[in-house]
């Protein structure tokens, strides 16, 4: 499938493939003639292109846009290949001598890869069938002479190019390592400076360094994004800084300037921010030209008229009763705080995206830190105003049992996550969204915690002694016997084959080790999928026959 940049040339190529085959060489000659006069920096009318190739002027229907010279060169080369393939030309039909890829590469002293790359620059190739029936791309002598004349410098540079030797590659890597020991630089900066020293192409140097890093990840110089990796010296600085030492103390210990230590610390902080992107709920208002005035500098809405103070439930400790003293937010206050919270994070994320870890000032990190601290303060206000919601939901789920405070703590985490994910622009209240998030989390975590408490009992007497209502805790053996009784009742509702499959699959009632579905399939002479279907139907029967309480007991 041939791809054209210009739709007009793609249409012309299609029309030419429908023309008589005897005109094909004349059309290819017209393409070559036009390539000899194209300037990549100019634009050409479609009518001129069409007349040069076909000697016919197109009908005047609607005006067509001019075609840039660079686009014209690429599309005409594609057109020549397209037309020659459709015509199925043979070597005897060619009007002059020609060369294949390998012969032309030897003549111009370049690689065949370079020849293929030059085709995009205007080296026209046509497809012909050789005597052995194999189609090959060939280059006519007039085409080669025209291309060499138009691109003399390019051909000269290509002939002078030679591949890097292993010794040269090793030297490039060693020099790059030395440069990084004195100054932290990105890969493309190192490649540019090395290219100026060695006379090699920048891309050649960059590719050599990239291949070295890919083949020796333990000795790599750069990360995938082109940033320099931490050297052993920088790792020492990082460990000292994380241990709480000041830049002055680290500089004294390493015998270097304090400015070097501060620069390394700034880089560490910038990398940490970049690797941990700020998540927030975007709003179109954030990109308004006067967003600061509309969001941050706007006056805060007045507080709502507080109803009669809610009475906290009985049995709560002082720090939970204090939650009921905090005023609730009005809908306008809540939207305003969420707008500020997400906009502050939006501004911080935008600054982080623009950070250059190797070239930044303390003020840039300070600005980001201020924005994140302000956003965190807004989040704390939103969480604090809704903490009593967690307490009320927790009481409905677990009452005043011993793990009530653990459930409240877990619910607080759910509330914090809800604040981070809540979209105020949808018109809902946070309490509505957070209630579902908290209850969903309780529904998932409370049964699991209850299961672990029952399975891993340690010090049952102590647990009984501190229970608020002094209810007895059932013994594990009694629980197990209850499960067996209920399970036997459910299995009695099944057919013989269903009962055999369920008991053998799970190893119940002395049936030996559990068997896989494939093993059961061989026993019953059916496929594994059929066994799975029978088991699924049997389990559905058991669930329908058991009371809800018994089903929950089995699930535990």
> What CATH code is carried by the domain that includes residue 542?
1.10.10.10
91, 130 in Cβ contact below 8 A? yes
- Same domain for 170 and 236? yes
CA 106 to chain centre: 45
Contact 140, 98 (CB under 8 A): yes
**CB 205 within 8 Å of CB 172:** yes
**Looking at residue 466, what is its pLDDT?**
43
Q: 76 and 14 in one domain?
A: yes
Residue 120 pLDDT greater than 50, yes or no: yes
| pLDDT confidence bin for 451, thresholds 50/70/90 | very low
pTM to 2 decimals? 0.54
pLDDT band at 375 (very low <50, low <70, confident <90, very high): very high
Region 179-206: what's the mean pLDDT? 88
Domain count, the chain: 4
CA atoms 359, 362, 368, 372: torsion sign: positive
> 318 near 253, Cβ under 8 Å?
no
Residues 23 and 153 in one domain: yes
Only one residue has tokens 């290819």, namely 28
User: What pLDDT, on a 0 to 100 scale, did the predictor assign at position 503?
Assistant: 83
Listed residues 159, 174, 208: the one ending a domain? 159
Residue 97 and residue 132 share a domain: yes
Instruction: Give the model's pLDDT for residue 428.
Output: 87
CB 379 within 8 A of CB 341: yes
Between CA 520 and CA 457, with CA 555 as vertex, the angle to 5 degrees is: 115
210 shares its domain with 355:
no
Q: Are 76 and 31 in contact (CB under 8 A)?
A: yes
Residue where a domain terminates, one of 159, 178, 211: 159
Bigger pLDDT: 307 or 448? 307
Does the pLDDT at position 352 exceed 90? Answer: yes
- pLDDT at residue 288 above 70? yes
Structural domain harbouring 357: 284-452
> 139 pairs with which residues across the strands?
99
pLDDT of 306: 63
Q: What is the mean pLDDT of residues 206-224?
A: 91
Minimal CA–CA distance to 329: which of 176, 225, 434, 209?
Answer: 434
pLDDT of residue 401 exceeding 60: no
Same domain? 402 vs 312: yes
Pairing, β 67-68 against β 43-44: antiparallel
Predicted local distance difference test score (pLDDT) of residue 511: 65
311 vs 515: which has the higher pLDDT: 515
Q: Is residue 26 part of a domain?
A: yes
- Whether residues 199 and 152 share a domain: the answer is no
Separation between Cα atoms, residue 353 and residue 155, nearest integer Å: 42
Q: List 137's β-bridge partners, or say none.
A: 127
* Average pLDDT of the residues in 531-546: 81
Residue 461 in any domain: the answer is no
What pLDDT is recorded for position 437?
A: 85
Report pLDDT for 541.
81
What count of Cα atoms within 13 Å lies in the side-chain half-sphere of residue 66?
9
The answer to whether residues 143 and 173 belong to one domain is no
Give the pLDDT of residue 400: 53
What confidence tier does 148 reach under pLDDT thresholds 50, 70, 90? very high
| Residue 302: inside a domain | yes
Lookup result for tokens 């008991």:
503
pLDDT at site 482: 62
Contacts of 343 (CB under 8 A, 6+ apart): 283, 285, 286, 291, 295, 296
* Position 470 in a domain: no
Residue 454 · residue 556 · CB < 8 Å: yes
Same domain, 305 and 210: no
pLDDT tier at 128, thresholds 50, 70, 90: very high
How does the average pLDDT of the chain come out, rounded? 83
Whether residue 333 is contained in a domain is answered as yes
Please check whether residue 466 lies inside any domain of the structure: no
Instruction: Please determine, for residue 471, whether its predicted confidence score (pLDDT) is greater than 50.
Output: no
More confident residue, 327 or 214: 214
Residues 82 and 229 both lie in one domain:
no
The region of weakest confidence among 276-280, 343-347, 439-443 is 439-443
CA distance 455 to 462: 16
Question: Quick one: average pLDDT of 429-454?
Answer: 72
State whether the Cα torsion 205-210-211-215 is positive or negative. positive
Round to whole Å and give the CA distance between 338 and 344: 10
Pick from 266, 249, 487: which is nearest to 356 by CA?
Answer: 266
Integer Cα distance of 99 and 112 in angstroms:
12
pLDDT for position 61: 65
Q: Residues 433, 385: contact at Cβ < 8 Å?
A: no
Is pLDDT above 70 for 114? Answer: yes
410 versus 551: the higher-pLDDT residue is: 410
Tokens 């994320």 belong to which residue?
A: 349
Q: Which of 437, 227, 221, 426 is nearest to 338 (CA)?
A: 426
**Pair 317, 444 in one domain:** yes
Residue 472 pLDDT class (50, 70, 90 cuts): very low
CA-closest candidate to residue 35, choices 153, 147, 126: 147
| Chain centre to alpha carbon of residue 184 | 27
Q: Are residues 19 and 91 in the same domain?
A: yes
Q: How distant is the alpha carbon of residue 151 from its chain centre?
A: 42
Residues sharing a CB contact under 8 Å with residue 493, sequence separation 6 or more, in sequence order: 541, 542, 545
Give the domain-ending residue among 452, 485, 513. 452
């Amino acid at each position: 499938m041939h791809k054209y940049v210009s739709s007009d040339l793609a249409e012309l190529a299609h029309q030419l493939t429908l023309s008589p085959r005897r005109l094909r060489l004349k059309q290819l000659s017209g393409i070559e003639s036009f390539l000899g006069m194209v300037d990549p920096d100019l634009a050409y009318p479609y009518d001129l292109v069409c007349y040069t190739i076909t000697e016919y002027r197109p009908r005047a229907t609607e005006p067509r846009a001019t075609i840039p010279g660079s686009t014209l060169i690429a599309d005409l080369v594609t057109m020549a290949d397209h037309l020659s393939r459709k015509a199925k030309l043979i070597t005897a039909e060619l009007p002059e001598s020609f060369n294949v890829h390998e012969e032309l590469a030897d003549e111009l002293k370049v690689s065949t890869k370079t020849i293929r790359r030059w085709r995009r620059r205007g080296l026209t190739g046509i497809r012909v069938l050789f005597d052995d029936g194999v189609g090959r791309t060939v280059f006519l002598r007039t085409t080669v002479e025209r291309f060499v004349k138009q691109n003399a410098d390019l051909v000269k540079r290509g002939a002078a190019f030679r591949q890097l030797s292993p010794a040269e590659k090793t030297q490039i890597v060693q020099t790059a390592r030395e440069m990084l020991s004195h100054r932290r630089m990105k890969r493309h900066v190192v490649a540019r400076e090395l290219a100026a020293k060695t006379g090699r192409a920048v891309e050649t140097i960059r590719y050599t360094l990239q291949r070295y890093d890919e083949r020796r990840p333990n000795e790599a110089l750069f990360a995938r994004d082109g940033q320099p990796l931490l050297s052993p010296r920088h790792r020492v600085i990082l460990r000292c800084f994380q241990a709480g030492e000041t830049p002055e103390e680290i500089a004294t210990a390493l015998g270097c300037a304090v400015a070097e230590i501060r620069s390394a610390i700034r880089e560490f902080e910038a990398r940490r921010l970049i690797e941990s992107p700020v998540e927030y709920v975007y709003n179109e208002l954030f990109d308004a030209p006067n967003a600061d005035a509309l969001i941050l500098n706007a006056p805060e809405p007045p507080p709502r008229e507080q109803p009669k103070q809610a009475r906290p439930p009985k049995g709560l400790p002082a720090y939970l009763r204090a939650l009921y003293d905090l005023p609730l937010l009005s809908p306008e206050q809540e939207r305003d705080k969420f707008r500020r919270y997400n906009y502050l994070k939006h501004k911080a994320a935008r600054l982080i995206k623009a950070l250059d870890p190797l070239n930044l000032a303390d003020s840039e990190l300070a600005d980001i830190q201020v924005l994140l601290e302000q956003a965190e303060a807004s989040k704390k206000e939103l969480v604090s105003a809704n903490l009593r919601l967690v307490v009320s939901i927790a009481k409905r789920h677990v009452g005043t049992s011993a793990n009530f405070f653990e459930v409240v703590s877990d619910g607080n985490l759910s509330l914090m996550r809800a604040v981070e994910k809540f979209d105020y622009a949808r018109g809902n209240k946070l309490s509505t969204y957070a209630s579902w998030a908290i209850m969903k989390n309780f529904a998932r975590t409370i049964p699991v915690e209850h299961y672990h408490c029952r399975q891993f009992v340690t010090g049952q007497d102590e647990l009984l002694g501190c229970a608020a209502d002094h209810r007895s805790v059932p013994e594990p053996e009694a629980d197990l016997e209850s499960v067996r009784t209920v399970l036997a009742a459910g299995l009695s509702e099944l057919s013989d084959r269903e009962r055999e499959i369920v008991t053998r699959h799970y190893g119940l009632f002395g049936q030996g080790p559990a068997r896989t579905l494939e093993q059961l399939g061989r026993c019953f002479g059916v496929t594994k999928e059929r066994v799975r279907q029978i088991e699924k139907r049997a389990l559905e029967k058991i669930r329908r026959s058991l009371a809800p309480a018994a089903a929950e007991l089995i699930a535990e």
